[in-house]
């Protein structure tokens, strides 16, 4: 069950799709002469943007699907990703291992510029 503390989780591709849909809506609205910039802007409330995200885009994370999220600020996250990598290499394909390696690199880079802490 999702934790409301963190809200909903969207992939980068899903966020890009939401922005593309919003831009297209503005273009269509403007082309039809339906209203002023203020009226167009007011149509993009947090509620209707969330509704579009929930209903109009194909989700990579299914509603109710269990997720386990590691944050860069979590002191133990890097070790967990390394452990996962070590246990994936015998059977995972190269693409999957490359993605894990990218995550490792990002966690390591984050540690160089930001403080870590014990997870909440």
Can you tell me the distance from the alpha carbon of 116 to that of 74, in angstroms, rounded to the nearest whole number?
A: 6
Quick: pLDDT tens for 9-25: 777 777 888 888 777 87
In whole numbers, what is the pLDDT of the chain averaged over residues? 80
pTM score, whole prediction: 0.54
Quick: pLDDT tens for 73-102: 999 999 999 999 999 988 889 999 999 999
pLDDT band at residue 105 under the 50/70/90 scheme: very high
Burial (CB < 10 A; 0-12, 13-18, 19+), residue 40, is middle
Beta bridge partners of 74: 117
* Residue 68: predicted pLDDT: 83
Can you tell me the distance from the alpha carbon of 58 to that of 45, in angstroms, rounded to the nearest whole number?
A: 21
Percent of the chain residues topping a pLDDT of 90:
26
């Amino acid at each position: 069950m999702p934790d409301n503390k963190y809200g909903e989780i969207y992939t980068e591709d899903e966020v890009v799709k939401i922005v593309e849909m919003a831009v297209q809506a503005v273009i269509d609205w403007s082309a039809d002469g339906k209203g002023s910039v203020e009226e167009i802007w007011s149509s993009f409330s947090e509620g209707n943007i969330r509704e579009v995200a929930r209903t109009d885009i194909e989700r990579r994370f299914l509603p109710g699907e269990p997720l386990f999220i590691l944050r860069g600020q979590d002191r133990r996250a890097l070790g967990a990703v390394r452990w996962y990598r070590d246990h994936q290499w015998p059977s995972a394909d190269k693409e999957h291992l490359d993605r894990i390696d990218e995550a490792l690199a990002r966690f390591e880079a984050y540690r160089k510029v930001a403080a870590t802490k014990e997870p909440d």
